[in-house]
Amino acid sequence: MRVALPYDPESEPMPAKRKKTPAQPRRKAPSGGATARRLYILSDSTGNLARHMLGAFLTQFPRDTFSLNMRVFLNRPRKLEEALREIEATPGIVFHAVVSQASKLLIEQRCAQIGVPARDLTGRFVKFLQEQSGIEPLADSQRLHDVDDAYYRRIEAVEFALQHDDGLGLETLGEADVVLAGISRTGKTPTTMYLAQQGHFAGNVALAMQVQPPRQLLELPARKVVGLTIDVPQLVEIRTRRQQDWKMGETGYNQAEAVEQEIAWSRSLFRSKGWQVLNVTDQAIEETAGRIVALAGLVHH
């Protein structure tokens, strides 16, 4: 197999242009097994807070220990009553995150009558803040999703991420808070979108060993760029799965020798530009995004 020579950052530009490959097909998330313990989350809003909290808790248990059942927007007595009747018909462990004290009391009372365990995810923390601050909470579930400046910033950040994905929008790339650079399948796009949902203006540029990186990327201040890298075996596995899913012909795309050369070349480029480097091997998108926020010194929104 003939492998293209690496691009040298000091050499003349090469005219070749990399084609964008189609996105990887979505994979279904695993569901709880037949013996999984049913677990309910009741929320009077989107349930995102409760889902994140339970998601963290459940990492401490074997997979498929619990079957998660979200019941959200229970902001009317009728809706809450329907959820409680379902729990009575099919009992399970109950967690709830509602702001109304009347709803909290109703859930606790009905769960006690049904004989299922229930735990409030938010009440004790809100009460603690009330006691320590002396300020009465508003008990308004809509406040979590106010259409305020922070909301509009997140919308703009998502639009920016879409416009600056995979080397698009190079002329305005300098407006980004952070730009991710890396070879194919290092998680640039999903990480960029996750950062955008947190209100960070992020773009990403795909690197290919035989193609000169765009001038706009190379001219960015080093503090704005984070180079993503990954260990060879994991990238070979990811690319092999992608090649099989897309029924691609045999190329050097997923061959260990070629992959190793690509990774070594990208790391050399990162060093030559003084970019911060993050190894994303075995990292979830959330962890990668959190580390990028720290590396780039981004302000939390």
User: Residue 24's pLDDT band (boundaries 50, 70, 90)?
Assistant: very low
User: Residue 33's pLDDT band (boundaries 50, 70, 90)?
Assistant: low
**Residue 11: pLDDT over 70:** no
Write the CB contacts of 136 (distance below 8 Å, at least 6 apart in sequence). Answer: 130
Rounded to whole angstroms, how far apart are CA atoms 269 and 7?
Answer: 9
Q: What is the CATH number of the domain that holds 215?
A: 3.40.50
Q: What is the pTM of this model?
A: 0.69
Residues 230, 92 within the same domain: no
Position with higher pLDDT, 31 vs 4: 31
**Under DSSP, is residue 122 helix (H, G, I), strand (E, B) or coil?**
coil
Rounded to whole angstroms, how far apart are CA atoms 209 and 136?
Answer: 59
Residues 141, 201 within the same domain: no
Phi-psi region of 212 (alpha: psi -120 to 50; beta: other; left: phi over 0): beta
Tens of pLDDT along 99-125? 999 999 999 999 999 999 999 999 888
CA nearest to 176, candidates 225, 213, 222? 225
Residue ranges making up the domain that contains 117: 37-145
Q: Any idea which of 9-23, 65-79, 130-144, 280-294 has the lowest mean pLDDT?
A: 9-23
Q: Are 169 and 225 in contact (CB under 8 A)?
A: no
Residues 112, 169 within the same domain: no
Residues 275, 161 within the same domain: yes
**Residue 138: pLDDT over 50:** yes
Sign of the alpha-carbon dihedral angle for 82, 85, 91, 97:
positive
Tens of pLDDT along 173-197? 999 999 999 999 999 999 999 999 9
Asked if residue 26 is part of any domain, the answer here is no
Sign of the alpha-carbon dihedral angle for 184, 285, 224, 156:
positive
Residue 97 forms beta bridges with which residues?
Answer: 43
Residues 230, 263 within the same domain: yes
